Amino acid sequence: MAVTMDTYAPFDAGAGANSMEATWRSFMSQFPSGVLRGRNNDMQCYADSTGMQVKVKTGECWVRGHWGQITSEKTLAIASAHASLTRIDRCVARADFSNNRVEVDILTGIAGSGTFVGLTQNTSIWEIPLAIITVPATDTSIDASQVQDQRLYTGDRLARGVVGMVKQATSNSGVNAETMMESVTFGAESGRYYEVSFESNHDTSNPTFRFRYATGTSVTTSGTLIRDSNVEGSGASRLFKMTGIFVAPTTDTYTIGVSAQGSGLNVTSSAATQRLFLVKDIGLL
C-alpha cells in the first residue's frame, strides 16, 4: 500500500497545492544560488568614474530558491571614503525572506581592516556576491579598476576554466625563510574543486614550495596549507612544477598563494621562461 510523503508540491489540488513561500524555498533551495549565465548582461557590477557609486547591469539571479531580474541598470551609492584608511566594500544580491523581495545592495566594509564583510546567509536573509569595491582614503569617485568581479553562476556544474593567473618574468633571490611569491584572488563556490599549479626555474638544494589559501584579498605564510613539496637534489638550475587541489569550504572570495623557502633559494625567470601560477575551476566532482 502506498504511503503519502509528509510534504510535496506543486499540484493543482490537495495538500500539494499549498506551495507557499516556505515550501517553495525548501525544495528549490537545492539548486545552487548565483547569477543566471547568459541572461542579458549577467548582472555585472561596474564603475565609470561618475562619483561615489557603482552600477549593476541587467540580468537575472537565483538566490536560495528565489528568482530576481534586473531589466534596467541599477545604481548603488558608495559611502564616503575614510580620511586616512582604505576600505573594501562588497556588492551583493540578496533574497530578503522577511520583506519578501530580491534586491542588490552594498555592504560597507571596515576602513583599515584589509578585507570585506562576510555574506549573511540565514533564515531571514541570503546573500550572494557580485563584486568587491576598493575605496582608498579621501576617494571621491569610483573608477573601473576599483571593482573586482565576484559573481558565481548557478546551474553550472562543469569546469569553468582559468579563474586566476600570474605569468611574469619575476625573480626572488636569496630566499631563506618562507616567502610568498605569487597569489591570485577569485570568487569560489562551496564544494567546487580548483586545480592550483606553479612552475618556475630555481637553483638551490632541497627547497620547499607550498600552496596556501585564505579568505579575502590576501594570503600570508600563516594561511591554510593546501600542499607542500620538498624538492630533493643539488643546487643546479632546473625547472620545477607543482600541482595541488583546493576544495572551497564555503562560498566566498579566496586568495591562493605559492610560497617558497630554502637556503639562499633563487626562484628565477626571464622573458623566455616566465614563471606561471595558475588556478583553474575543474567543476563539481
Contacts of 66 by beta carbon, 8 Å cutoff, 6+ apart: 25, 28, 95, 102
Residue 84 is predicted with a pLDDT of: 96
d(CA 82, CA 270): 41
pLDDT tens for each residue of 81-133: 999 999 999 999 999 999 999 999 999 999 988 888 888 988 899 999 999 99
Grid cell for residue 218: 590576501
Euclidean distance between the first and the last CA atom of the chain, given in angstroms as a whole number: 38
Q: Residue 134: beta bridge partners?
A: 88
Q: Which cell goes with 127? A: 546573500
User: Do 210 and 259 touch, CB atoms closer than 8 A?
Assistant: yes
The model's pLDDT over 153-202, given as tens digits with 9 standing for 90+, comes to: 886 655 667 888 888 777 778 888 898 988 998 888 888 899 999 988 87
- The amino acid at residue 107 is L
> Is 244 strand, coil or helix?
strand
CATH architecture of the domain covering 33-149: Trefoil (2.80)
Give the model's pLDDT for residue 234.
62
161-283 has CATH 3.40.50.11540 classification: no
Beta-carbon contacts of 68 under 8 Å, excluding residues fewer than 6 positions away, are 60, 61, 62, 93, 95, 102, 103
The one-letter amino acid at 22:
A
In Å, how far from its chain's centre is CA 257?
A: 14
What pLDDT does residue 224 have?
92
- Locate the domains of the chain by residue range: 33-149, 161-283
The pLDDT value given to residue 273: 67
174: left (phi over 0), alpha (psi -120 to 50) or beta: left
The C-alpha cell that represents 58 in the structure block? 541587467
Q: Tens digit of pLDDT for each residue in 200-252? A: 887 777 788 899 999 888 899 999 999 988 876 666 677 788 899 999 988 88
pLDDT exceeding 90 applies to what percent of the chain? 41
Q: CB of 148 within 8 A of CB of 259? A: no
